[in-house]
Amino acid sequence: MTLAGRHLISINDFSNEEIEAVLNLADEMSSAIEKGKRLDLCQGKELYTIFYEPSTRTRSSFETAMHRLGGTVVTHAEAQVTSSAAKGESIADTIRVLERYADIIVMRHPLDGSTRLAAEHSSVPVISGGDGAHEHPTQTLLDLYTIRKEKGAIRGKGVALCGDLRHGRTVHSLVIALARFGAEITCIAPPDFGLPDHIRDILKAYRCKLTEYESLEDIVAEGSLVLHQPRVESRESRVESRGGRGTPERSVSRLQTGFMSFLLENLDVLYFTRLQRERLPTGKIGDAAEESYRINRQLLEKSRDDALIMHPLPRTNELAYEVDQDKRAAYFRQAGYGVPVRMALIALLLGAVETRVSEWPKRKTPKLAKDVSGVRCLNPRCVTQAERYATAKFYPVNPQLLRCYYCDWMVQVV
Amino acid sequence: MTLAGRHLISINDFSNEEIEAVLNLADEMSSAIEKGKRLDLCQGKELYTIFYEPSTRTRSSFETAMHRLGGTVVTHAEAQVTSSAAKGESIADTIRVLERYADIIVMRHPLDGSTRLAAEHSSVPVISGGDGAHEHPTQTLLDLYTIRKEKGAIRGKGVALCGDLRHGRTVHSLVIALARFGAEITCIAPPDFGLPDHIRDILKAYRCKLTEYESLEDIVAEGSLVLHQPRVESRESRVESRGGRGTPERSVSRLQTGFMSFLLENLDVLYFTRLQRERLPTGKIGDAAEESYRINRQLLEKSRDDALIMHPLPRTNELAYEVDQDKRAAYFRQAGYGVPVRMALIALLLGAVETRVSEWPKRKTPKLAKDVSGVRCLNPRCVTQAERYATAKFYPVNPQLLRCYYCDWMVQVV
Amino acid sequence: MTLAGRHLISINDFSNEEIEAVLNLADEMSSAIEKGKRLDLCQGKELYTIFYEPSTRTRSSFETAMHRLGGTVVTHAEAQVTSSAAKGESIADTIRVLERYADIIVMRHPLDGSTRLAAEHSSVPVISGGDGAHEHPTQTLLDLYTIRKEKGAIRGKGVALCGDLRHGRTVHSLVIALARFGAEITCIAPPDFGLPDHIRDILKAYRCKLTEYESLEDIVAEGSLVLHQPRVESRESRVESRGGRGTPERSVSRLQTGFMSFLLENLDVLYFTRLQRERLPTGKIGDAAEESYRINRQLLEKSRDDALIMHPLPRTNELAYEVDQDKRAAYFRQAGYGVPVRMALIALLLGAVETRVSEWPKRKTPKLAKDVSGVRCLNPRCVTQAERYATAKFYPVNPQLLRCYYCDWMVQVV
């Protein structure tokens, strides 16, 4: 079997076996790079990078990956300004032209589902470099690669995700993949910054062990963390736990001080993401609160010696510079893995390398819902809102619920 | 003979034989691409793309063309911001530096005649990627290639150009080339959007069969088109026809309903261009009018089964998405031909391929007019208005008339 | 010995022998280019150009240089907009990621010392493409190359620098290098536009023969230049000369008319730089004054037949277009030398070519000053002002004076 000609828009476009094929090949790419071995696997092939939003790591590492494979690159680094998008051209039209020039396309766009729309109109593989707040699947591949390479495996590892888990596309792709590979997930996010419902629903389907906390509100004098509002594993049990608390603030604090130590001792990976201050609710949350989603020397001291501190970068305040010197700080290595992982992905999608698995398990392609005329996706940032020629499409979740084909938002059917 | 070292600024810089040499080589390039054959014709050669205006198709296809020929590319995608033009550097100075780095240069600039000025200061070939409202010669080459490839020939074919024929540089280069290759041309444009006089004068010189209509003002209930003001072949006859009409609106409508059917039956190619709504005269023309320069299913039904719908892209409203599914829709294929055509052009100008024609007919280089000191071009967008070091130069048309060397505007000599 | 792995941030990072090694190799590169010989010295190597400011010559010639060496390039032409810098990422973080993708990095940034900061965080060579008003070392390399190639040597040549000598980074790197190679330097700059003190101090250390003039205030009727306020070789003697003048304006004028002829007869190189009108003191200086820092036909007539007119480009008014036709005009050739010089530099820093010199003289690495906590650089454009994680560092000049490690500004220690 082959991955040739496939798109990668959501991490769910690939089966676990397919993801592992990418990670295995990335290992080979990595050692080829280290040995300075020249690879001409993609000679004569043309990669297009079409970015409607700024990027340092994603675009760069894709372009270097293509060069290291012997291929060539055409760049649209600021497509919203330098391409015909500035004259109002639709995504579909842009792609229907560029697929005639390119052998493979990487696209980043601010609208959710935009890269899925692009893939629909392309006969050559389209890789998402990030679509709005939706997904960023190649970041997820390199996150998985980092954990596997540095911790030996993903299954059974305790991974904490900390920061803005609502708006970060990086986290959405990652948390699903972690669930699929059997990691144990802890989410730490301020109120209104937790995982979106559609992601939580997907995790539930994977029977993922998920623990959620609403805030690490303060770092107490003795250096341990205080959790304000614990949220326990499922929404049902969360309600119970809320009902059961006494004088909430104090008892919770005490509980959490001890719990935090326990928590940190069981975490293999601490994955931090940007928490944009301007998005935090004013009044409710202040400097101290922001501090509690931040990793610094104090938190490091409490963490395991072999923990991995990860971050998709760029960072703002949530990752103190003092952490950089610590051997557990993995985020620059993590960014560096972008090249071998993306080399592997490009080589596979272009059919330059056949995967080792003799036969893939049959992929179930989910069927679209019928009779949905008149239903529109309610996500204001969904690509179907802006590109009016795009037909709204949905997957049926249950008789009352539809999931948008482009951006994965749920729509209630009345 | 060789095309090596030549510039391409206007489609008139090349003789018909030279154009055919490009198109023939493009055919070879096209089949080489299809066979996945690697071409190293331009290995070690450096192409510079210098774009002062947005571009998707032109820049991309030039860069891919160079890569497919084995050469390398340096990109200035937004030269007005990222180059020394931002510090006020003149076109001449920029080119006099870059010609020392590049083996061949492609330049797009908003001023008419700017690329001619660049070519004057370059010892390496300069190809225009579009200069203001003046010309876009490589678009013309691929338009000709499309017609020749898909209709077998250009001579004798009926080609209708529809939309804004005044401001579109694409159309100006094309209509001249069509005339030179013996196509029969029909122009359909709103009042004040017809061909500019200097283009019409050139066509006259080629004894081109030209028919012009001022508007397709409405689509009548039964689905046939109504032409509001017919303009007959020459300006003289137009005056007559106007004088001869009775109750103009009604009679013309009737006449045109029948005529339109006749017209569509005789058209091999329908070439649409962008009609920018904000440029249309307010009051005079409304939604319905705009609709009449638009191709949709109704118009397709009236057209010949083997007609070719072309468009330089990007489109706005003039080309309904429903047309895309029709086999006659050629515009994405047309854009795709940009790669083989530009490969052929680059290879010829770099002397990497010698043309087959054993000896070219001697090209008549027109002589510049003498004693024109004090005469300035009146085109407000002519490059000579902005780049003051550029000496105004003119070709003599007749004792009373001069044509600007840079932008082709006519100047009356008193 | 080898230059492999070294950074080039200041021209003082290289010894004279090292600079000569670059220039010698540039000669070989130049003749290889002329012979059309293909060089694959850097095949498989990746150059990153990261430009936070516009550039035509520097970025282009680096990219072409890398292509001519067989290497590949990833471009960030407008990094302040298209990279994560737009999301507030620090220079250090950007570099710590990109050094994992690139084999060598060229960076231009508006802050003084920014490229030094980048080099500190990179394990691969960083070349400065210009840092604010501080230095532009590769421009200096090609300036030296131009003088050596066209005048046979640098030692003993009379070189005049004319224009804004205060804010031009080009001039700062150059004047130091000229001093080190034994040129005789004449500076001609308006009041407040002379060399900054820290540069003048460095020149003094090299015992450079330096003559400074404050203005060429007018071109007198007979076509000779009038110097308004002569400043003699050292600051001490300048004070004397000022004290000794009678009716200053008139006598000085007469003196200078004769002196100018003498001066021009002894100048091998006239190096002009941009004089930005908006920076000139209003009232004090007008059109005529600006004219006196300008080279035109009149000045050319007074200059030696074998003089070299140089300019880093882009020019504004200080270099009349009429000069271009003169054989002494070297500035476009000078820009052209950017390719072979940068090829040589890249090849050496990547270790693709070993230098001929069997053993280098030991480089004295100056030691940083100790106990400087609390001291900050006073340069408002120093990178340490903007990137707060950067620790201020200084070299000791004398017990009362420190020199900023990043931007070379002097700080008085109280």
Which residue in this structure is represented by tokens 């094309």? B174
Q: A11-136+336-349, which class in CATH?
A: alpha beta
pLDDT of amino acid C277:
64
Chain B residues in contact with A94 by the CB 8 A cut-off are 56
A93 touches chain B (CB under 8 A): yes
* DSSP tag of A334: H
B249: distance to nearest CA of chain C, Å? 55
Q: Does C67 touch chain B (CB under 8 A)?
A: yes
Spot the catalytic one: B6, B7, B109, B136: B136
Cβ pair A97:B64 closer than 8 A: no
**Collapsed DSSP state (helix, strand, coil) of residue A213:** strand
Q: How many CB atoms lie within 10 A of CB B33?
A: 17
DSSP conformational letter for A89 = -
The average confidence (pLDDT) of chain B is 84
Question: Chain B contact for C314, CB < 8 A?
Answer: yes
- Which residues in chain C touch residue A55, judged by CB atoms under 8 angstroms apart? 82-84
Most confident of A286-300, B98-112, C215-229, C247-261: B98-112
Residue type, C174: L
- Write down the mean pLDDT value for chain A: 84
Report which of residues B398 and A23 the model is more confident about: A23
pLDDT of residue B257: 46
Query: Is A56–C83 a contact, with Cβ atoms under 8 angstroms apart?
Result: yes
Numbered ranges of CATH 3.40.50.1370 in chain A: 11-136+336-349, 138-335
Mean pLDDT of A332-358: 92
Cβ separation B54–A88 shorter than 8 A:
no
pLDDT at residue B314, as a whole number: 92
The answer to whether B271 touches B159, Cβ cutoff 8 Å, is: yes
Q: What percent of chain A has pLDDT over 70?
A: 81
Provide the pLDDT for residue C113. 97
The encoded tokens of residue B121 equal 């200061």
In this predicted model, what pLDDT tens digit does every residue of B156-167 receive, in sequence order?
A: 999 999 888 888
Q: Is the pLDDT of residue A252 over 80?
A: no
Q: How many CB pairs under 8 A join A and C?
A: 77
Averaged pLDDT for residues B248-253 = 35
Cβ–Cβ under 8 Å, residues B131 and B116 = yes
Chains that touch C (3 or more CB pairs under 8 A): A, B
B387 close to C (CB below 8 A): no
Low-confidence ranges of chain C (pLDDT < 70): 1, 214-263, 276-292, 356-364
- CB-based contact A75 B78, cutoff 8 Å: no
pLDDT at A280: 60
Q: How far is B247 from chain A (nearest CA, A)?
A: 42
Element (H, E) at B191: none
pLDDT bucket at A196, cuts 50 / 70 / 90: confident
Quote the CA–CA distance of A107 and B100 in Å, as a whole number. 34
pLDDT value at residue A358: 54
The yes-or-no answer on residue B311 being catalytic is no
pLDDT of residue A360: 54
Task: Give which of C39, C52, C55, C64 to mutate to test B binding, by max B Cβ within 10 Å.
Answer: C64
Residues 6+ apart with CB under 8 A from B29: B39, B68, B339, B340, B341, B343, B344, B347
**Does C38 touch chain B if contact means CB atoms closer than 8 Å?**
yes
**Minimal-distance CA residue of chain B relative to A100:** B336
C97:A316 CB<8 A = no
Residue extent(s) of CATH 3.40.50.1370 domains in chain B: 11-136+337-349, 138-335
- Report the C-alpha gap between A306 and A301 in whole angstroms: 12
Q: In a mutagenesis test of the B interface, which of A51, A76, A98, A100 is the best target, namely the one with the most B β-carbons within 10 Å? A: A100
Determine phi and psi for A132, rounding to 5 degrees: 55, -135
Average pLDDT over residues B30-36: 92
Q: Which two tokens stand for residue B100?
A: 């020392």
Q: Tell the burial category of A305 from Cβ atoms under 10 Å away from its Cβ (0-12, 13-18, 19+).
A: exposed
Sign of CA dihedral C60, C66, C72, C76: negative
Question: Which of these is catalytic: B35, B38, B87, B362?
Answer: B87
Asked if A74 lies within 8 A of B57 by C-beta distance, the reply is: no
- Would you call B102 an interface residue with chain C, using a CB distance cutoff of 8 Å? yes
In contact, C71 and C44? CB cutoff 8 Å: yes
Question: What is the least distance, in Å, from the CA of C347 to any CA of chain A?
Answer: 17
The model's confidence at residue A212, banded by pLDDT at 50, 70 and 90, is confident
Q: Does the structure's ipTM exceed the value 0.90?
A: no
Q: Is A78 on the interface with B (CB under 8 A)?
A: yes
Residues in chain C within 8 Å Cβ distance of A51: 82
Q: With pLDDT > 90 as the criterion, what percentage of chain B qualifies? A: 56
Find how far residue B195's CA is from the centre of its chain.
Answer: 12
Q: Is A38 on the interface with C (CB under 8 A)?
A: yes
Residue C209 in contact with partner chain B when CB distance is under 8 A: no
pLDDT of residue C385: 94
Q: Could you tell me the fold of the domain covering C366-414?
A: SH3 type barrels. (2.30.30)
Name the most confidently modeled range: A247-261, A361-375, C274-288: A361-375
Distance of residue B380 Cα from the nearest chain A Cα, in angstroms: 23
pLDDT in tens, A379-388: 999 999 999 8
CB-based burial label for A413 (10 Å; 0-12, 13-18, 19+) = middle
Containing B127, the helix (H) or strand (E) segment is strand B126-131
Q: Using CA coordinates, name the residue in chain B closest to C77.
A: B82
Between the ranges A30-44, A70-84, B153-167, B338-352, where is the mean pLDDT highest? B338-352
Digit-coded pLDDT (tens) for A146-190:
999 999 999 999 999 988 898 877 898 999 999 999 999 998 887
- A62 Cβ under 8 Å from any chain C Cβ: no
Give the nearest chain B residue to C36 (CA atoms): B44
Cα gap C48→C107, rounded to integer Å:
8
Is residue A96 less than 8 Å (CB to CB) from chain C? Answer: no
Q: How far is C25 from chain A (nearest CA, A)?
A: 25
The residues pairing with B51 across neighbouring beta strands, listed in sequence order, are: B108
B293 pLDDT more than 80: no
Q: Give residue C193's pLDDT.
A: 85
Tell the residue number behind the tokens 């192409």, with chain if given.
B47
- Please give the CATH number for the structural domain made up of C138-335: 3.40.50.1370
Q: Subunits touching B (CB < 8 Å, at least 3 pairs)? A: A, C
Using a CB-CB cut-off of 8 Å, the residues of chain C touching A33 are none
pLDDT for res A160: 92
Question: What secondary structure does DSSP assign to A121-146, as a single string?
Answer: T-SS-EEEEEETTTB-HHHHHHHHHH
- As a whole number of angstroms, the distance between CA A340 and CA A23 comes to 9
Return the CATH number of the domain spanning residue range B11-136+337-349: 3.40.50.1370
pTM above 0.80, yes or no: yes
Instruction: Report pLDDT digits (tens) over B315-341.
Output: 988 888 989 999 999 999 999 999 999
pLDDT above 80: residue B29 = yes
Instruction: Give me the residues of B, 160-179, that contact C with CB < 8 A.
Output: none
Indicate whether A238 pLDDT > 50: no
For the packed helices B169-180 and B137-151, what is the interaxial angle rounded to 10 degrees?
A: 50
Q: Out of B68, B78, B314, whose CB is closest to A81?
A: B78
What per-residue confidence (pLDDT) applies to A37?
85
Instruction: Please state, in angstroms and rounded to a whole number, the distance separating the CA atoms of residues A180 and A10.
Output: 13
The residues, ordered by sequence, that sit 6+ positions from B153 with a Cβ below 8 Å of its Cβ are none
CATH 2.30.30.20 domain residues, chain C: 366-414
Give the pLDDT band of residue A361 (cuts 50, 70, 90).
low
Contact (CB<8Å) C77/B82: yes
Instruction: Confirm or reject contact between A51 and chain C (CB < 8 A).
Output: yes
The distance of C89 to chain A (nearest Cα, Å) reads 6
CB of A17 within 8 Å of a chain C CB? The answer is: no
- B187 has pLDDT over 70: yes
